[in-house]
Structure 1
């Protein structure tokens, strides 16, 4: 495939990479019988697996860099499928706490295994310096677009 370097080509390539990564994650989820989860939910699980207990949803919004309505939608979907729960904060009634249910905690090994598969596929035999360089370039593009 011919590589060009117009902004459209870069954005198209990033979109194809994202689509392929999401497809891989969806296949891995299906192979493990995990229902009600889509690739975007990974950020919610990654965040909650690092917590010791329930945390304010605003912490997830802040950490994820996503808008509150997007995060709230993901949380509601995962609650509906039994992976997490929401409850009012006893110290601040304006704050909603979220935490993993037993079902949510039970998928941690699957989540980690899928992450390993994804990392192996994304990087292939790419060396550490190339990995770092790709991240630097993509971060520069991200920064440029946020100006």
Structure 2
């Protein structure tokens, strides 16, 4: 007979991991003297780092899997701190385009280093096979919850 793990235990563990990862990222950002950014902003930066041209806000919403109001709030915060700029599309004035500023582009190396250190901390000395299994299982949990 298998014991079913209690949902609160699973969610609590996921919550603690997320909280510790966020604290690690925010501490590392402070160490790099990068201000005005939270760990949640990382997904926006990593997407914008890949773009050569301004992208519609709607595309950022779709690619990051966050709701529009969350992305709008994050973009507004990043704009206030000078990391991104918004402008209306010349083709369709209803469309808001977003791009990194020079300040935003300049933090890419620090972001990549922090990301590498976080992954090293998360995986520790876990064997590669276990790492792959963990990622697969977490992906399955996400799909079960309706994530793509």
1:43 corresponds in structure 2 to 43
In the alignment, the residues of structure 1 paired with residue 122 and residue 131 of structure 2 have an alpha-carbon distance, to the nearest angstrom, of: 10
In the alignment, the residues of structure 1 paired with residue 145 and residue 6 of structure 2 have an alpha-carbon distance, to the nearest angstrom, of: 15
Structure 2's unaligned 5+ residue stretches are none
> How far is the alpha carbon of 1:139 from its aligned partner?
1.7
Are residues 1:93 and 2:93 paired? yes
In the alignment, the residues of structure 1 paired with residue 139 and residue 8 of structure 2 have an alpha-carbon distance, to the nearest angstrom, of: 17
2:119 corresponds in structure 1 to 119
In the alignment, the residues of structure 2 paired with residue 38 and residue 103 of structure 1 have an alpha-carbon distance, to the nearest angstrom, of: 16
After superposition, what is the alpha-carbon deviation per residue over 1:7-65, rounded to whole angstroms, capped at 9, x for unaligned? 11111100000001001001100111111000000001000000012111111100011
After superposition, what is the alpha-carbon deviation per residue over 1:104-124, rounded to whole angstroms, capped at 9, x for unaligned? 011011111101111100111
1:62 corresponds in structure 2 to 62
2:52 corresponds in structure 1 to 52
> How far is the alpha carbon of 1:144 from its aligned partner?
2.0
> How far is the alpha carbon of 1:136 from its aligned partner?
1.6
In the alignment, the residues of structure 1 paired with residue 73 and residue 31 of structure 2 have an alpha-carbon distance, to the nearest angstrom, of: 25
After superposition, what is the alpha-carbon deviation per residue over 1:58-110, rounded to whole angstroms, capped at 9, x for unaligned? 11100011100000000000000000000000011111000010100110111
- CA-based RMSD: 1.3
Structure 1's unaligned 5+ residue stretches are none
Are residues 1:130 and 2:126 paired? no
1:29 corresponds in structure 2 to 29
Q: TM-score, normalised by structure 2?
A: 0.93
Across the two proteins, how many residue pairs are aligned to each other?
144
SS at match of 1:92: coil
Q: TM-score, normalised by structure 1?
A: 0.94
